[in-house]
Structure 1
Amino acid sequence: MIWLAIVALLIAAATAWYLARPLSRTLVTDDRERRHQLQQLRDRLLVQLNELDVEEGDRNIDPTVLTSERERLEAELAAVLRELEAPKEKKKKKKAVTESRRGWVVALVLFGVVLPLTAAGLYALYQRPILAYLTNPQAPADAAVPPMVMEMVGRLEKRLSEQPDDAAGWFRLARAYAVMGRAEEANAAYARAYKLTPDDPQVVAEYAAFLYDGDPQNTSGQVFGLFSRLHELDPENRDALWFLGFASYKKADRKKALGYWERLLKALPADSQEAEHLRMIVARTRGEMTKK
């Protein structure tokens, strides 16, 4: 049996070496490719919006169709810009890439020796709960969620039933539900966390983003109230400035939209692509005001 363990270690070491070679390139490549795709999508949406303006001026399109198509394009553009404007971790990623280049040899040794032993230990540790889960057809579960995750969520649900005033617990549970695709339960958990801590910018921001991502066409009602509250708590919050500007634009209040977006422009790096394209949107909005 010893020689089998040695062979397993050698195979694991060889696999780790093979996988470690492109490690230093993967992080940067994936991030750049995603941003490049988002930038291309953003450019296409801006071109389509400009084409709509031309068709509107030439009166070659039905006003109802024009309004519907413009709202759809603007909603998609808002989602793209929000993702592009999300806090960036470029410095951390660069540091991680540099460290991976220096430390992949150490990782090779660790994975080659520790991985098989860790796998065996985890198997022994979790064998009983997994088998119990598989042999209990009555247990509720999501086929895409590992049993251990379901167990952790279950423990958190039980604790919150005993400690319903734990705002941080409701916040974590809301995040877990959102990841699991349980939107209604996530909404309810976010609502509980917000009710307990209405002055916490992080809770308000995530709750507002969750509602907006679930229905990007809706810029009124509760989602508007949450982003307004976020703006009160953090007047320079970029998501709040963008959303409130977009909501004002949809209400045909171009002047108010410009107020939010011009404030957002000041918060963005002047030479960033996000600022460049927001300047285009601001210029187009000003042009619409001039036509009137």
Structure 2
Amino acid sequence: MIWLVALALSITAVTVWYMARPLARPPVSDDRERRGQLQQLRDRLLTQLNELDVEEGDRNIDKAVVGDERNRLEAELAQALRELESMGGVKKKKKTKKKAARESRRAWIVVLIVFAIVFPLSAAGLYVLNQRATLAYLMNPEGPANASVPPMVLEMVARLEKRLADQPDDLDGWLRLGRAYAVLGRTQAAEAAYARAYKLAPDEPQAIAEYAGFLYSSDPQNTEGQVYKLYSRLHQLDPDNQDALWFLGFAAYQKNDYQQALGLWERLMKRLPADSNEATHLRLIIDKTRVKLTGK
């Protein structure tokens, strides 16, 4: 009976602390507000992706619509995760409160320490029971470099891996997995996933473009080997592809073939908005290349 009373008192104390803690906190900085907004956006996007998976499994919506919506959600999620990662930890504010405020904080810390013994142990037990897939994923030696990645993201990746094990010919699934690995910083796994997608559809522009884009972003100074083959093939399939025009022009420039570089970049220039930053930057590069070509 005593332990029931103790448990009730513990729950009451934690509830009071939770409700009163905003009064003991300093004002939240703009960075923390932004972090909170990004975390809410991340959770909302993850929920929508889960719902999309359920609808796709039930075949309630068109596959093309599902693909477009998934690409949009994954792009927003990747951007949110990157921004969260770039923000890093929230800096601790300097102590500027008066002595009474400091004493009040010490009291809260004592309460937290007491209850930190009971509740984390209970939560850990539930976590082990319900998060086995995530824990197994984290045991992977090529796990994500960013420890702030939420378990829900890891579960989605693990679920996609399992799905592809059962459906190894799913092109869209391999592309999604490559994007996910890239966001998590698992470069070798991402390259393998993109290579698998390319093997399934060697003439599919999207598969070629994503694979080539990943290789180029991983090593921007390398314009030979597989990345060159991929962009050359993409240029054959889609002569107006802007990424292929830029890369092949850059590859020609590195080989001192300024004439070919100019031809590719001038073609690219015609496809860019005249007042865009990209066009301004490319115009400067073209001018410098012309100087190299003419020697004037």
TM-score by length of 1: 0.54
For residue 140 of structure 2, what is the aligned residue in structure 1? 140
Q: Of residues 273, 276, 280 in structure 1, which corresponds to 2:284?
A: 280
Q: Where does the alignment leave 5 or more consecutive residues of structure 2 unmatched?
A: 1-10, 38-75, 77-119
Is the Cα contact below 8 Å between 2:171 and 2:200 reproduced in 1? yes
1:122-174 per-residue CA deviation (whole Å, 9 max, x = no partner) reads 9997452448977x8x9435374558344443333333222211112211222
Tell me which residue corresponds to 2:18. Answer: 8
Post-superposition shift, 1:176? 2.5
Cα RMSD between the aligned structures? 4.2
SS in 2 for 1:216: coil
Aligned to 2:228: 224
Contact map agreement 2:144 2:186 (CA 8 A) in 1: no
Tell me, in whole angstroms, the C-alpha distance in 2 between the residues paired with 1:232 and 1:16.
60
| Larger RCO (CA under 8 A, 6+ residues apart) | 1
Once residues 5 and 278 of structure 1 are traced to their aligned partners in structure 2, the CA distance between those partners, rounded to angstroms, is 60
In the TM superposition, residue 233 of structure 1 has moved relative to its aligned partner by 3.6
* Distance in 1 of aligned mates of 2:28 and 2:161: 42
Amino acid at match of 1:203: A
Matched, 1:163 2:173: no
Alpha-carbon distance in structure 1 between the residues aligned to 2:22 and 2:208: 46
Shift of 1:237: 2.6
Cα pair 2:245 2:264 within 8 Å, conserved: yes
After TM superposition, give the deviation of residue 261 of structure 1 in Å.
0.8
Q: Tell me, yes or no, if structure 1 residue 263 matches structure 2 residue 267.
A: yes
Give the Cα separation in 2 of the matches to 1:252 and 1:179.
Answer: 35
Of 270-279 and 188-197, deviating more is 270-279
Residues in 2 aligned to 1:289 and 1:21: alpha-carbon distance in whole angstroms: 49
Match of 2:210 among 206, 209, 213: 206
Shift of 1:223: 0.6
Within a 5 Å distance, the mapping from 1:97-136 to structure 2 comes to: 126=127, 128-130=129-131
User: What corresponds to 1:103 in structure 2?
Assistant: none
**1:236 matched residue in structure 2:** 240
- 2:248 & 2:167 partners in 1: Cα distance? 36
Distance verdict in 2 for CA 1:226–1:9, change over 3 Å: farther
Does the aligned pair in 2 maintain the 1:133–1:147 contact within 8 Å?
A: no
Percent identity for Structure 1 against Structure 2: 54
Contact preservation (8 Å) 2:144, 2:184:
no
Partner SS, residue 270 of structure 2: helix
Equivalent of residue 182 in structure 2, options 171, 175, 178: 178
What does the per-residue CA deviation read over 1:16-74, in whole Å, with 9 as the maximum and x for residues that have no partner?
984579968x99xxxxxxxxxxxxxxxxxxxxxxxxxxxxxxxxxxxxxxxxxxxxxxx
